[in-house]
Structure 1
Amino acid sequence: MLVLWVIAAAALMGSSLAFPSPTSNDASIPGTDAQRAHDLMKEGFGSGYATGGTVQLLVYSAGGPLIDDARKRAVEQSIDRLRTMPHVEQVDTPFRRGGISSNLQIGLITVRMQGHDPNKLAQTTQTLSKAADPARAAGLEVVPADSSTPADKEIKTGPSEIIGVVCALLVLVFAFGTLVAALIPIFTAMISVASGLGVIGLLGWVVDMPKQAGIMATMIGLGVGIDYALFLLSRHRRLLAEGVPVVESVRRTVASSGGAVVFAGGTVIIALSALMLAGFPLLATLGWVTGISVVAAVLTSVTLVPALLGVLGHRVNALKVPFLRGSGKAGTGWAGLGSWVARRPWRVLLASALVLGALAAPALALKLGALDEGYGVQGSESRRAYELMATGFGPGSNGPLIVVAELPSKVADAKDPIVDNLAREVADVDGVAHVSEPKVNTSGRSVLLQVVSEYAPSDSRAAEVVRDVRAIALPGVQVHVGGKVAGLTDAGDRMAERTPLVIGVVVLLSALLLLLAFRAPVVAIKAAVMNLVSLGAAFGALAMVFSIGLGSGLVGMDPPVNSSFVQTVFFSVPIESYVPLMLFAVLFGLSMDYEVFLLTAVRQAYLRHGDNKRAVAEGLGSTGRVITSAALIMVAVFVAFIAYPDPMVKTFGVGLAVAIAVDATIIRGFLVPATMVLLGRLNWWCPRWLDRILPNLSVEGHEEDEPAPRLPEPVKAGV
């Protein structure tokens, strides 16, 4: 088994590296107005208006106007070189109407492409930028403008993965006290992540694979891969400490903790799969791609980990670290905490609710919006181009609207009265700063206008301009608005429409899985509610850091140059509209992991002696240390990814880290035990009719030697 996994991981990862698949951040949403505008742009307007068909270069002269003879000559030499480049169809000089700023120091060179590879637009842009070296030689600054958003950037692997793995290894060493035991979860996670990334890379040849797919799979795969192996290893070492033979210990471990891993992984996969109902293809793909990494983690946990434990035998405790006393035995500290909570459940419940309410309160200020390059890394080319464009041509120039109107009848040219009337109506919309000359397509049935609003793409008022332009009513004319801002506006509207459906499906299916696992309706419903509580704390943290801006600088978000002290401290960053739904799915699944492991231990104790309070204390005592270690590992991994320059990865890192920390401490340590003590025998109550129809899918397995006692008779509600 060990050899097979190593070969499979090497083959899959090697194949994906040898044959790298293209990536695509196609954010199209079927059935939306922006998608209709995009489709119409392809019909007779020329390749330069298609997505990825235009490259813009900004030219800045710090020493004086660009129309100075020497500077102008250098710019024209650059333009002549650009016209000779492959796939260049047309180059528009900055010395034209609308091509140069009012102070004459910032110019815009527009290059229209044909026949190039849209998937290699970044490389093409750099090649075209290099062709403008004559302008640079004259002392001018030339920066390629970037029409994508920070979330569109290809995210490359970096030191964050290494930092996360090192932090996880340190936690494992402290938890186990031996280097060999600490390395088992790390090795297993590496194999699962490599296998998952290999599969994802190869799938990129048959489906559109987002650029964020690899980093999301790595982030989640590392966290769950290490955690699942940790749960199995902790159980195995505890059995070895009790004198159970190696092979029998492995069997019992997989029968108990292995079953819990499968159920826990199932909840994560269910939550991620529900994203397919969001009506956003990009989000759906991110969901099932991340699910692949979870499947790989579950498979390696229940096959590779037992193989490693069998190979190592008692050597699993070899290479003990001096001064550390990690052991396989459950600590008494968590059991003591469980007993303390059991003696005062109402006070613990109220105190926990107040703390969680305070953590979740900032979520009311959560601000969703579009991320533009104004939030990129300070000093990067893309952010510099954004700032030059905003200074020279207005903030809205960084996200122009593409208005495509279907006409009731064929027109000869753009001078037709109906086209002129449309252009005037668009120009009269509040918030519109500039409207380009109309362009009629070859069939004469559609007209295209490029519209620049007064607001930056990330400004919520830009979305209102989109809606107002779409609301223009002319007889027989159907107005559609496309472009980056319009697409993100439609994405936000679709997310708001589908979010209740996705949340409902995730909660219901996860509760059903827990019902099948524990045959306890109250426990299943309570677990779903507890997970929603931890989500509230996560969204509160996101709002505090990004929407309110208190701490955005600490996670690496750079405020604009020359910002005041207050603007620097409270630098607000919008959160992409699809991020909360993706976070909900991931966090709900991960939070359910700890719920499954805690409930498994509590139920096993309850089946042995039937004392609910004692079972809660024993369950918390046997799982507290391992859940805390697992949570520390996940938090370390997610915090490490905050170092990525991409704002989307930062939001995921902050949200995941806070939610897991709150879930493993306040919720699993205090709130869940308190509610279980108060519910008493109702925790495990199940109506007879439901008990008869539920299949027997015990999470705990049947590893105990002695037969389990019968559960107490079901109690009636209110008794």
Structure 2
Amino acid sequence: MSGLLGRLGSWCARHGGAVLALWVAAAVLLTAGSVFFPGPVSNDVSIPGTDAQRAVDLMKDGFGPGYGAGGSAQIVLYSPDGPLVTETRKRAVERAVDLIREVPHVKEVRSPYQVGGLAPSLEIGVIAVKLEGNDTAKLAETTRLLSEAAEPARAAGIEAVPATSASPADKEIKTGTSEIIGVVCALLVLLLAFGTLVAAMIPIFAALVSIATGLGVVSLLGHVVDVPKQASIMATMIGLGVGIDYALFLLSRHRKLLADGVPVREAVRRVVASSGGAVVFAGGTVIIALSALMLAGFPLLQTLGWITGISVVCAVFTSVTLVPALLGLLGHRINALRLPFTGRRGSHGSSGWASLGDWVARRPWSVLALSVALLAALAAPALALKLGPLDNGYADRGTDTRRSYELLQAGFGPGMNGPLVVVADLDTRVVDREPAPAVLGNLKDRVADVEGVVHVGDPVLNRGGTAALMQAIPAYAPGDPRALDVVKAVRALDVEGARVHVGGQVAGMADAGERIAGRTPLVVGVVVLLSALLLLLAFRSPVVAIKAALMNLVSLGAAFGALSLVFSLGLGSRLVGMDTPVSADGSYLSTVFFTVPIDSYIPLMLFAILFGLSMDYEVFLLTAVRQAYLRHGDNRRAVAEGLGSTGRVITSAALIMVAVFVAFVAYPDPMVKIFGVGLAVAIAVDATIIRGLLVPATMALLGRANWWCPAWLDRILPNLSVEGHEEDEEKEEPRRELVGAGRD
């Protein structure tokens, strides 16, 4: 593989102008296409084979418009100066209701003055709207029109806030400020690492081209597949981090070769043949980890995984084509525009990291014990990690989503924000609907008797008389674990003549959590196995492959420990910008620490991303150690040299990743904050404690066993070595006989 990559890099260096023009044209055209022909975005929240999905399927069968996801909306009214029933306010509200009826796609409107429309205080009310169809893509525009139609109420001093049944996962997340902050921080790190403006701009430029291309592809894919609304933000987070990192590794090696007197195009060829192979294998592990989410059994997570992988593919391609083209075009001008305050930096490894590597290699047992103790302390809080639905009460304060949630909770109780949709599949078709069949009355009474249910609406029959639907309001907010107990209790009802199913936000997330929990061992096993296999192909060492996979799992413990401290235990919830939740009466809680639930799919998504990203640093470190070992055959010396040659560049890459992920913590959306915290902590721990201490210590202890490979396995493994050795031939005679075929 190194030979093929070397030829590719050499060709790109010779035809740098053409390669640059092609990439820029692709990025511009795809970006323009996504702007002028944006693909729709929507979350496929179906979970085949679950009770919640059965309820959704029954709702689509003859109940008419407005009974499915995306088929309803609300205008929540609040009169701070008096009750809504005064003559003046009532006329204003009824005028707003009339205007809402004229909005396109509106099928039915219920006035707040109908039964159940006003809160006991009479200061809060709800205009309930049923829409034609269940197209979630049109829901945002329709909601805006509904809000505009409520202007007569606002003119009378009434607050009118639009609300939908969408959850935080359904909101489209806009990119913008955080990306700029991340790029600026990355540029500062690169300036300190390279000391020249030209060199620092190459990884930034390559990453931006990669992101523009990837986001354009993701947007256009929306015309043919369901693209999750979180896809753009996830693709940007991961693409920006890996795009800069991959280019950084190539550029660092290239500048070292130039400093050694290697001609420009030959240096490019060697860089892409060696470090380019590491980039391909590192990117491959990220893609494998994300692709394994296809086994999660949750369509939203599956699609989010492979679409996010597109950004990684773009980052790999730009690294092995666009970066060599830029290096060939710039030549020795890569060191132009040197910053005066940085001094003249050498291109070789840091003596400080080399000293650390030598120190670790001489005290492996002590370093191993210290590393294990630190990692155990960081991972311990993960035992308190709490999963649960992330409801709109944690949305950004001041938004319509958050305000409508607060008003509904203050007026009608916390359960109003997470109603249960109870759908009964009737054993006998109902033909005569007057008077109401006994089975419907019995169904309503049984649901009303469930502990934790505070209100049950009247059952509605579908057109065929084969199913009945009604709404049950629990006593608990959607994020309250007790709401899940209510769902289970309703599902457990044995009603004569009917089979009860429960849908809605709470029920759907409960089913998603159970499905993901059941599939998690399979996903983890596949990711670990395939990643270890990829490393085996790269380094031809079973010990290295297994050890690397286990080390990556260790870094995940620290990430989940940080998430637990910040969100589940609430020790840093304010530090990451989370707003104080509201109490049952709508007032803001004054507590310093408050907990935030973590959606059940987030840990598995984090696992896939972090496992792949952690493997990046493992590949680059192992490549350097293996090259040193092949030269002289001294394992401890190879460990020290490998850490010394990669320590500074890995640290710089990790700083960039951490800066990018921390920048995304500034997003108002809690889901993005959770990902930002988890990714930043894991990368920081991985690049310091694990790659700087634990991995070198274990490699020093294992000695020659690191590179042992059984003869039978060595014969059947294809030759896909990550590193090239041409550039080392004149330094020391390679000791290849020490590696492979079990010749220890």
1:373 aligns with 2:389: no
1:235-634 equivalent positions in 2, closer than 5 A = 235-325=253-343, 326-411=345-430, 412-413=432-433, 415-560=436-581, 568-634=591-657
SS at 1:402's partner residue?
A: strand
Question: 1:90 deviation in Å?
Answer: 1.5
Residue 657 of structure 2 contacts residue 680 of structure 2 at CA under 8 Å; is this kept in 1? yes
C-alpha distance in 2, partners of 1:38/1:504?
Answer: 32
SS across alignment from 1:627 = helix
Tell me the SS of whatever aligns to 1:370.
coil
Map of 1:678 onto structure 2 = 701
Task: Measure the CA separation in 1 of the matches of 2:134 and 2:353.
Answer: 62
How is 1:130-209 mapped onto 2 (pairs within 5 angstroms)? Answer: 130-209=148-227
1:280 & 1:70 partners in 2: Cα distance?
50
Alpha carbons 2:77, 2:126 under 8 Å: kept: yes
Distance 1:84 1:301 in 2: 54
Mapped pair 1:697 → 2:697 = no
2:714–2:741 CA contact under 8 A, matched in 1: no
Tell me whether 140-149 or 102-111 shows the greater mean CA deviation.
140-149
Q: Which moved more, 1:452-461 or 1:319-328?
A: 319-328
The separation in 1 between residues aligned to 2:598 and 2:554, in whole angstroms, is 21
Q: Shift in Å at residue 422 of structure 1?
A: 1.3
Query: For structure 1, which segment, 246-255 or 408-417, has the greater mean C-alpha deviation from structure 2 after superposition?
Result: 408-417
SS in 1 for 2:137: helix
**Distance in 2 between the 1:111 and 1:629 partners?**
54
Cα distance between partner residues in 1 of 2:739 and 2:552:
29
Is the contact made by 1:682 and 1:715 (CA closer than 8 Å) also made in structure 2?
no
| Counterpart position of 2:683 | 660
Of the structure 1 ranges 534-543 and 195-204, higher mean CA displacement relative to structure 2 is found in 195-204
Paired with 1:312 and 1:465, the residues of 2 have a C-alpha distance of: 66
- The correspondence for 1:51, drawn from 24, 49, 69, is 69
Residue by residue over 1:274-332, the C-alpha shift from the partner in whole angstroms, topping out at 9 and shown as x without a partner, is 00000111111111111100000000000111110000000011100002133312111
CA 1:146–1:50 in 2, change beyond 3 Å: closer, same or farther?
Answer: closer
Q: Deviations over 1:583-633 (max 9, x none)?
A: 000000000000000000000000100101100000000000000000000
Change (3 A) 1:200 1:716: closer
> Do 1:151 and 1:646's aligned partners in 2 also have CA atoms closer than 8 Å?
no
Q: Is the 8 A contact 1:594 1:627 kept in 2?
A: yes
Residue 23 of structure 1 aligns to a residue in which SS? coil
For each residue in 1:187-224, what CA deviation from the matched residue of structure 2 results, as whole angstroms up to 9, or x when unmatched?
Answer: 00011111111111111100000111011001100000
Runs of 5+ consecutive residues of structure 2 not aligned to the other structure: 1-18
Once the 2 structures are TM-superposed, how far is the Cα of residue 702 of structure 1 from its aligned partner? Answer: 3.4
Q: Check conservation: 1:681, 1:715, Cα contact below 8 A.
A: no
In structure 2, distance between residues paired with 1:705 and 1:538: 38
Task: State the SS of the aligned residue for 2:423.
Answer: strand
- Letter paired with 2:69: T
Superposed, which structure 2 residues align to 1:41-80 within 5 Å? 41-80=59-98
Q: 2:250 aligns with which of 232, 242, 265?
A: 232
Counterpart secondary structure, 2:27: helix
> Counterpart in 2 of 1:112?
130
Of 107, 120, 132, which residue of structure 2 is paired with 1:102?
Answer: 120
1:712 offset after TM fit, Å? 3.1
Corresponding position: 1:709 with 2:735: yes
Question: Deviation digits for residues 135-165 of structure 1, max 9, x if unmatched?
Answer: 1111111111232122211111121000000
Could you tell me which amino acid in structure 2 is paired with residue 69 of structure 1? E
Match of 1:641 among 657, 664, 667: 664
TM-score when scaled to structure 1? 0.98
Please state how far the C-alpha of 1:394 moved relative to its aligned partner: 1.1
Aligned-partner residue type, residue 389 of structure 2: A
Corresponding residue SS for 1:85: coil
Distance 2:164 2:461 in 1: 27
- For residues 310 and 348 of structure 1, the distance between their equivalents in structure 2, rounded to whole angstroms, comes to 43
Q: CA separation in 2, counterparts of 1:288 and 1:567?
A: 42
Instruction: Name the SS for the 2:104 alignment partner.
Output: coil
C-alpha contact (below 8 Å) 1:87/1:113 kept by paired residues: yes
Contact kept, 8 Å, 1:610 with 1:711, in 2: the verdict is: no
Contact 1:167–1:633 (CA<8 Å) still a contact in 2? Answer: yes
SS at match of 2:482: helix
The C-alpha deviation readout for 1:212-258, integer Å capped at 9, x for no partner, is: 10110011000000000000000000011111111111111011000
Deviations along 1:318-357, one digit per CA (max 9) or x if unpaired, are 1000021333121111000001111111111111111110
**Displacement of 1:568 after TM fit?**
3.1
Distance, in Å, in 1 between the alignment partners of 2:119 and 2:496 is: 37
Could you tell me which residue of structure 1 aligns to residue 144 of structure 2?
126
Quick check: 1:373–1:383 contact (8 Å CA) kept in 2?
Answer: yes
Secondary structure of the 2:727 match is coil
Deviation at 1:440, TM superposition (A): 0.9
- 2:591 aligned counterpart, secondary structure: helix
Distance 1:308 1:575, change over 3 A: same
**Given the superposition, is the C-alpha separation of residues 705 and 605 from structure 1 closer, same or farther in structure 2, using an over 3 Å criterion?**
closer
Kindly state the Cα deviation for residue 476 of structure 1 after the two structures are TM-superposed: 4.5
Q: Distance in 2 between the 1:520 and 1:116 partners?
A: 54
Alpha-carbon separation, structure 2, partners of 1:116 and 1:697: 51
SS at match of 2:718: coil
The answer to whether the 8 A contact 1:34-1:482 is kept is yes
Q: How far apart are residue 87 of structure 1 and its match?
A: 2.2
Amino acid at match of 1:127: L
Does the 8 A contact of 2:379 with 2:557 survive in 1?
Answer: yes
Deviations 1:24-82 (A, max 9, x none): 01211111111111111111111021221211111111122111111112111111222
The 1-side partners of 2:705 and 2:412 are apart by: 66
Separation (CA, whole Å) in 2 of partners of 1:293 and 1:565: 40
| Alpha-carbon spacing, 1:452–1:564, altered in 2? closer, same or farther (3 Å) | closer
Distance 2:195 2:423 in 1: 66
SS of structure 2 residue aligned to 1:323: helix
Q: Mean Cα displacement is larger for which, 352-361 or 128-137?
A: 128-137
**Contact 1:255/1:703 (8 A) holds in 2:** no
The residue identity in structure 1 corresponding to 2:112 is P
Name whichever of 117-126 and 224-233 sits farther off: 117-126
Distance, in Å, in 1 between the alignment partners of 2:258 and 2:97 is 75
- Contact 2:424 2:501 (C-alpha < 8 Å) held by counterparts: yes
State the superposition RMSD in angstroms: 1.7
Report deviation, 1:564. Answer: 11
Relative to structure 1, the CA distance from residue 681 to residue 29 in structure 2 (aligned partners, 3 Å threshold; closer, same or farther) is same
Structure 2-normalised TM-score?
0.94
Q: Residue 709 of structure 1 aligns to which amino acid in structure 2? A: R
User: Quick one: percent identity of the two aligned structures?
Assistant: 71
Matched residue of 1:91: which SS? strand
